[in-house]
Amino acid sequence: MRRTHKIVGSQTFETTGAVHPAPHQSKEETAMKAMRTAPWTLAAVAAALLAAGCSSVKLDETKPPVETARPTQVQPGAGGTSAGTSQSQVTPVDLTKNTAAQQGNLPRVVYFDYDSFVVKEEFRPTLDAHARQLAANKQRKIAIEGHTDERGGREYNLALGQKRAEAVAKSLALLGASETQLEAVSFGKERPAAQGSDEAAWAKNRRAELVAR
Amino acid sequence: MLKRRQFSAAAGLLLCTPAWSQFRVEISGVGATQVPIAIARFRDEDRAGQAVSAIVRADLERSGLFRGVDAPAVLDETAQPAMTEWRGRAADALVGGSVSRLADGRFDVRFKLWDVVKGVELGGQSNAVAADDLRLAAHRIADYVYERLTGEKGVFSTRIAYVTRGGGRYTLRVADADGEGGQVALNSPEPIISPAWSPDGRELAYVSFEKQKAVVYAQEVASGKRREIANFRGSNSAPAWSPDGQSLAMTLSREGGSQLYLMGRQGDAPRRLTNSSAIDTEPVFSPDGRSIYFVSDRGGSPQVYRMPAGGGNAERVTFTGNYNISPAISPDGRVLAYISRQGGAFRLYTMDLGGSGSAQAITDTSDDESPSFAPNGRLLIYATRAGGRDVLMTTTLDGKIKARLVSTTADVREPMWGPFGR
């Protein structure tokens, strides 16, 4: 999937030659822009893909970049009848952000390798931040919910998820949280974050979530 | 179009009642010795709303020991069947009967069983039941026939429990052993797993996530009255009743790690049974109550172990493969059924505990889960996936006869076969 997008991106640059990727933009973003600015590029991309013999590329795999290009920022006043405000303006209210704010805007998911309960080094900073917040406010309590991917038995997965949750709880305690603030529980494979039976979905499901109680 | 509709309407009248057309048991495989048996349509069964004879036939076929022989016409228990004619149809046994509505609204279900080869009556019964229990009456006929012809108790009038998932809901259901006539025991927006029948068949213990964690409950099936058995810090799961029904073994993480505990039937006096730094879970009692089989990854991978029911030294039972889980023990204690992962496929295995210790896969599916023995030890029920859905199957212990149980829409999983005695 990801590799396909890169191919689309590079093919686009070669075909149009006019778009120079800005350093902060990903190739995908650049590709989207290219598609917006030059609709005929799509045809060129398709032709290039065909020429490259990419017969396995499905049509729907080129869709996401086109779809994500839709929420273009509307300039205030542009096309509006009354002066100043646009009739098309939408100001988002994001309740998930509020919830995140309660948890200090910290990432709250830790991912694991297959059949493993080892907390990977890359999640230490996240857990350290959570532990410091818990240490600063002893009234706060959280549950650490362990999860697994769909493979294997429900009860064994429940135990494996428990082991993951306990590993995270142990890390938090070592980093300064009090054990009375933490409860490690497990949902096993019963509450997947992502549907699907491939490694991409499984990797998203092997996790522990930190949830306010 | 019109012609075709007329034809199917006529065929429907001729061949089956509406109930028959809803009845679907897909049976595959051939057993070595199957008794060919004809179950004629019972007189007036089409007025009762349940295809009694079809239920009896499907029950017997699912057992793997019988093969249904088509019967051309209605035959009631008072008939004098022409044995030569039935021998000509290659039937060794024959069942006929009737369903009569009584003045009080109940139905009198009568039948007779004949030995076609010897040309003699083997017996019959009359059973007056409420309309709700017509399926039960049919299952009892199948039990009678099964016991008369095999010498063993039938399990067709027993019940199973299972969990369905659909429309964002989880539902614990209790149904006839053929998966039909399901009734709701518990409806929840959160997952339900691991139902376990009490030995007297009156209660179900199970794990519910309704409190955002795994908590073990027990529920009286008839009254719906439920109580919390284990809600300790951490997860509470995998309940298993002792054969005397007085205690439950389960997995608790209250002291860190998933470990086995034994507690009273009210959730009292939890006592720790295992002391390992590994996962210990899925306990199940041996039928004599002396041992507990369970799953542990203390050796590096999940395997089935056995220890004394009071705790103590555990010995490893499974050795082939590196992922063996979900043990179930046959009622005679001689066969272990479990799920083994072999090359990425999770398959139902049986192992001879008597001596040889030989194990064999008895399915060719790849997502098998949760085996449970029928109380006569002749069939296993288990969950697997087919057509993108979770389904329930029954199989003979040699894997030769399998039947897919009816499921209308939802995913069906976590089957547990109830005891004798309804």
* Helix, strand, coil fractions of chain A, as percent rounded to 5: 50, 10, 40
Partner A contacted by B338 (CB < 8 A): no
Q: How far is residue B212's CA from residue A145's CA, in Å, rounded to a whole number?
A: 9
Q: How far is residue A174's CA from residue A178's CA, in Å, rounded to a whole number?
A: 9
Looking from the CA of B226 toward its CB, the CA atoms found within 13 Å total 17
CB A34 within 8 A of CB A22: no
Which structure tokens are listed for A139?
């009234």
Residue for token pair 């109830």:
B418
In the three-class reduction of DSSP (H, G, I as helix; E, B as strand; rest coil), residue B198 is classed as: coil
Q: How many CB pairs under 8 A join A and B?
A: 90
pLDDT tens digits for A18-44?
334 444 444 444 444 444 444 444 444
Partner A contacted by B257 (CB < 8 A): yes
CB contact under 8 A, A163 and B194: no
pLDDT tens digits for B348-365?
999 999 878 889 999 999
Amino acid identity for residue B144 in this structure: Y
Largest CA distance in chain B: 73
Partner A contacted by B370 (CB < 8 A): yes
Query: How many CB atoms lie under 10 A from the CB of residue A212?
Result: 11
Amino acid identity for residue B24 in this structure: R
In the three-class reduction of DSSP (H, G, I as helix; E, B as strand; rest coil), residue B400 is classed as: coil
The angle subtended at Cα B377 by Cα B398 and Cα B296, nearest 5°, is 85
Mutation site for A-interface testing, chosen from B193, B277, B304, B339 by largest number of A Cβ within 10 Å: B193
Q: How far is residue B57's CA from residue B299's CA, in Å, rounded to a whole number?
A: 47
Cβ-proximal residues to A2 (8 Å cutoff; 6+ apart), any chain: none
Mutation site for A-interface testing, chosen from B164, B253, B255, B276 by largest number of A Cβ within 10 Å: B253
Closest CA relative to residue B396, chosen from B22, B49, B128, B61: B61
pLDDT tens digits for B214-234?
999 999 999 999 999 999 999
Cβ-proximal residues to B19 (8 Å cutoff; 6+ apart), any chain: B49, B50, B51, B54
The angle subtended at Cα A182 by Cα A176 and Cα A188, nearest 5°, is 130
CB contact under 8 A, B257 and A163: yes
**Between residues 288 and 307 of chain B, which touch chain A (CB distance below 8 Å)?**
295, 302
> pTM of the predicted model, to two decimals?
0.79
* A191 CA: distance to closest CA in chain B (Å): 8
Residue for token pair 């995140």:
A100
Q: How far is residue B60's CA from residue B394's CA, in Å, rounded to a whole number?
A: 13
The arithmetic mean of pLDDT across residues A46-57, rounded, is: 41
Measure CA A108 to chain center: 12
pLDDT tier, A61 (very low <50, low <70, confident <90, very high otherwise):
very low
CB contact under 8 A, A159 and B258: yes
Residue A162 has pLDDT above 80, yes or no: yes
CB contact under 8 A, A191 and B191: yes
CA separation, residue A89 to residues A36, A76, B305 (Å):
21, 8, 65
The arithmetic mean of pLDDT across residues A84-112, rounded, is: 66
N-term to C-term CA, chain B: 47
Kindly state the DSSP code that residue B74 receives in the 8-state scheme: B
Amino acid identity for residue B232 in this structure: F
User: Beta strand pairing status for B226-230 and B215-220?
Assistant: antiparallel
Q: Is A36 exposed, middle or buried (0-12, 13-18, 19+ CB in 10 A)?
A: middle
- Extract the residue ranges of chain B whose pLDDT is less than 50: 1-24
State the pLDDT at residue B98. Answer: 98
CA separation, residue B74 to residues B39, B46, B81, B126, B300 (Å):
10, 11, 11, 18, 62
Residue A59 has pLDDT above 90, yes or no: no
State the pLDDT at residue A25. Answer: 44
Residue A98 has pLDDT above 50, yes or no: no
- φ, ψ of residue B280 in degrees (nearest 5): -120, 120
Which structure tokens are listed for B116?
């076609």
State the pLDDT at residue B5. Answer: 36
Residue for token pair 């069947």:
B81
CB contact under 8 A, A154 and B281: no
Q: Which of the two residues, B241 and A94, has the higher pLDDT score?
A: B241
State the pLDDT at residue B421. Answer: 81
Residue A6 has pLDDT above 50, yes or no: no
Q: How far is residue A188's CA from residue B258's CA, in Å, rounded to a whole number?
A: 12
Among the partner-chain residues A156, A162, A184, the one whose CB lies closest to the CB of B302 is A156
CA separation, residue B250 to residues A148, A190, B265, B280 (Å):
21, 19, 11, 10
Q: Which of the two residues, B183 and A51, has the higher pLDDT score?
A: B183
CA separation, residue A172 to residues A177, B15, B112, B388 (Å):
6, 68, 71, 40
Closest CA relative to residue B187, chosen from B408, B385, B367, B410: B410
Kindly state the DSSP code that residue A180 receives in the 8-state scheme: G
Measure CA A189 to chain center: 20
The arithmetic mean of pLDDT across residues A115-124, rounded, is: 93
Q: How far is residue B71's CA from residue B91's CA, in Å, rounded to a whole number?
A: 9
State the pLDDT at residue A104. Answer: 60
CB A209 within 8 A of CB A147: yes
State the pLDDT at residue A3. Answer: 38
Query: How many CB atoms lie under 10 A from the CB of residue B8?
Result: 10
Q: How far is residue B126's CA from residue B104's CA, in Å, rounded to a whole number?
A: 16
pLDDT tier, A106 (very low <50, low <70, confident <90, very high otherwise):
confident
pLDDT tier, A115 (very low <50, low <70, confident <90, very high otherwise):
confident
Q: How far is residue B295's CA from residue B283's CA, in Å, rounded to a whole number?
A: 7
State the pLDDT at residue A207. Answer: 97
Q: Is B301 exposed, middle or buried (0-12, 13-18, 19+ CB in 10 A)?
A: middle
State the pLDDT at residue A85. Answer: 57
Q: Which helix (H) or strand (E) holds A135?
A: helix A124-136
Q: How far is residue A35's CA from residue A18's CA, in Å, rounded to a whole number?
A: 12
CB B336 within 8 A of CB B329: yes
- φ, ψ of residue A32 in degrees (nearest 5): -60, -45
